[in-house]
Structure 1
Amino acid sequence: MPKNVFLTGATGFVGGATLRRLVHSGFNVTVALRSGAQLVEDGVSKVYVSGFDGATSWNDSLKAVDVVIHAAARVHVMNDTEVDPLAAFRRVNVEGTLSLARQAASAGVKRFIFISSIKVNGEGTEPGIAYSPDDKPAPADPYGISKMEAEQNLRALAVETGMDVVIIRPVLVYGPGVKANFRNMMRWLEAGIPLPFGAIHNKRSLVALDNLVDLIVTCISHPAATNETFLVSDGDDLSTTRLLRKMATALGRSARLLPIPAWVLQNGAALLGRKDLSNRLCGSLQVDISKTRSLLEWSPPVSVDDALKATAQHFRESK
């Protein structure tokens, strides 16, 4: 059983939860942090770097490491101000990832777990038609392209060096501490604001933070994970309407949802220049996790209702 784990992205939403699970499970953990970053966690070794790109030198920090979990990334940015967003994503997500992986292989690391994104598959599916890990990639934005290129380089490196590479593509992750649109929806529901999402019949796969972390930890030692790509979700796809009703229940509120047809919302959003938001709220994106279930003998340990309850409790306590 591998015991020495090197983790990047430990100050992030997914990386932080992964770190807590690793420490609780008795792993010896070393985390990579940007200079000046703060991390409150007992029993963790720390390595400080100025950045995550192709020029980063990991020196001796990877010696005696069994498994690297690479969760750090330049994440998807709304209204990106970079002159060349793709180049900015490539510096961190492609060049930085490949440099870390090469140095890990040279140091004798046995397995490299890469937290990728469902955006490698694409931006949406037709209802009832789910993405699979073996579909032809179809990323539509610079972030998705950079994750796809990182995956391709890692697979080539695995062949070249013999280091195992495991790729995990999460869908939208939610859980205690979630931010952005998911947190905004909780604010709206708690405030009792009427929302025009009572007649949305899409299907979207989501993954609770605890379920994603459980899969990451499973992939640390599972022999069947070697050089495989996995999709991950809760296994319970929801429409936006159903999600809001469940979320309201978790918050102890009644969902005030107006039955506005999806096409009306989509046309209105297009006129306002928010087509991207309407696609997330009204469009479908489903994933097939049958490979993850069968190959790893894994099932999501936390139900949607329990995960939403924990998310809502944290939201109320942190206000």
Structure 2
Amino acid sequence: MKRLLITGYSGFVGNHLAELLQGNYHVNLLGRKPSNLGNFFNHNLDSTSTYADALENVDVVVHCAARVHVMDDKATDPLNEFRAINTHGTLNLAKQAVQAGVKRFIFLSSIKVNGEGTTNQNPYTALDTPRPEDPYGISKAEAEQQLLTLGKETGMEIVIIRPPLVYGEGVKSNFGSLMRFVGKGFPLPFRAIKCNKRSLVSVYNLADLIKVCIECPKAANQILLVSDDNDLSTAEMVSLMAKVQSRKNLALPVPVWFFKLAGKLINKNDIIDRLTGSLQLDITHTKNSLDWKPPFSVEHGFTLAAKNFKKLTNGF
């Protein structure tokens, strides 16, 4: 039975992954919060910590831990803060993984390495030149390049996975807020935003792909984009959120030009672009390379994402 090390196991993706893999592998967990999902090792992710105990006899590292993207970052130097963990901390762990004899290092990156959107463009592919725009995306892109270089120099297999927005049971962020508002029956002004397309990935499809990457020889040294392979407009997303919560879709048909005008007036064009623009991933390379396709539907993921909000409705 293979031995794995999972970082970021207390986060949204890492927790679902650890639950999926429990019992099928010897699982070590690297972090600061004890868990019954594997053997716990209390370490920070940074450029100076040592991980020899957690890496002993490990075959595959699944690196989910990161300083995550936030909308209103208050750090004085955000890029330096992201680099400290996402770039320098990742490389420190990877170098020690080489020394420990780890065969494969799976890095959970981000589609932000490709860029911020595909409005009036073709969907992103794994072969695109990286064009990150924000500190989070830049730190992830730098980590990818350094990992690939380390892999070439040492022979450790590198697997890079770039997901878009990840959702499922327990999700928070903007997706969770939108699901909650729809569940409460608020008439949101999104019915007319139907010409954009957004790629999403449920945590169940993402965890399944990671599991495949642990075992599949063809995953070695690949850059893999992942999604549910069923892109939705904002209007379609709200409609499906209403459906899985047995609510009427009360979305109002406010025209897209109004959102764009409002974005200019309040200097929030980036937020409006995420709401009305497109961000699509072409996962053909992932499907063909690994003979894999997302096993779960978008409706399956939305249904499970809605579970917590139904429980919390009375307390909203």
Query: Does the CA contact (< 8 Å) of 2:183 and 2:310 recur in 1?
Result: no
Q: Distance in 1 between matches of 2:102 and 2:154?
A: 10
Aligned to 2:10: 11
1:60 is paired with a residue whose SS is: helix
By how many angstroms is 1:247 displaced?
A: 0.8
The percent of aligned pairs where both chains have the same amino acid is 48
- TM, length-normalised to structure 1: 0.95
- The letter of the residue matching 1:63 is E
1:298 is paired with a residue whose SS is: coil
Q: Distance in 1 between matches of 2:54 and 2:300?
A: 38
- Where in structure 1 do 4 or more consecutive aligned residues deviate above 3 Å? none
Query: Does the CA contact (< 8 Å) of 1:128 and 1:286 recur in 2?
Result: no
Aligned to 1:119: 112
Q: Please say if 1:221 is aligned against 2:215.
A: yes
By how many angstroms is 1:127 displaced?
A: 4.8
* 1:110-163 deviation per Cα after TM superposition (whole angstroms, max 9, x unaligned): 000000000000000025620001101000100000000000000000011000
Query: Does the CA contact (< 8 Å) of 1:199 and 1:258 recur in 2?
Result: yes
Q: Please say if 1:56 is aligned against 2:54.
A: no
Aligned to 2:173: 180
Q: Distance in 1 between matches of 2:187 and 2:308?
A: 23
* 1:273-316 deviation per Cα after TM superposition (whole angstroms, max 9, x unaligned): 33222111111000000001000000000001111111112321
- Of 79, 94, 98, the residue aligned with 2:72 is 79
By how many angstroms is 1:318 displaced?
A: 4.4
Aligned to 1:204: 198
By how many angstroms is 1:81 displaced?
A: 1.3
- Of 23, 30, 33, the residue aligned with 1:32 is 30
What is the aligned residue count?
A: 312
Q: Please say if 1:151 is aligned against 2:144.
A: yes
Query: Does the CA contact (< 8 Å) of 1:127 and 1:202 recur in 2?
Result: no
- The letter of the residue matching 1:208 is S
Query: Does the CA contact (< 8 Å) of 1:127 and 1:203 recur in 2?
Result: no
Q: Please say if 1:310 is aligned against 2:310.
A: no
Q: Please say if 1:142 is aligned against 2:135.
A: yes
Aligned to 1:249: 243
Query: Does the CA contact (< 8 Å) of 2:216 and 2:290 recur in 1?
Result: yes
Aligned to 1:101: 94
- The letter of the residue matching 2:173 is A
Query: Does the CA contact (< 8 Å) of 1:176 and 1:315 recur in 2?
Result: no
Q: Please say if 1:288 is aligned against 2:282.
A: yes
Q: Please say if 1:265 is aligned against 2:265.
A: no
Q: Distance in 1 between matches of 2:225 and 2:242?
A: 28
* 1:4-26 deviation per Cα after TM superposition (whole angstroms, max 9, x unaligned): 000000000000001001104x1
Q: Distance in 1 between matches of 2:148 and 2:282?
A: 22
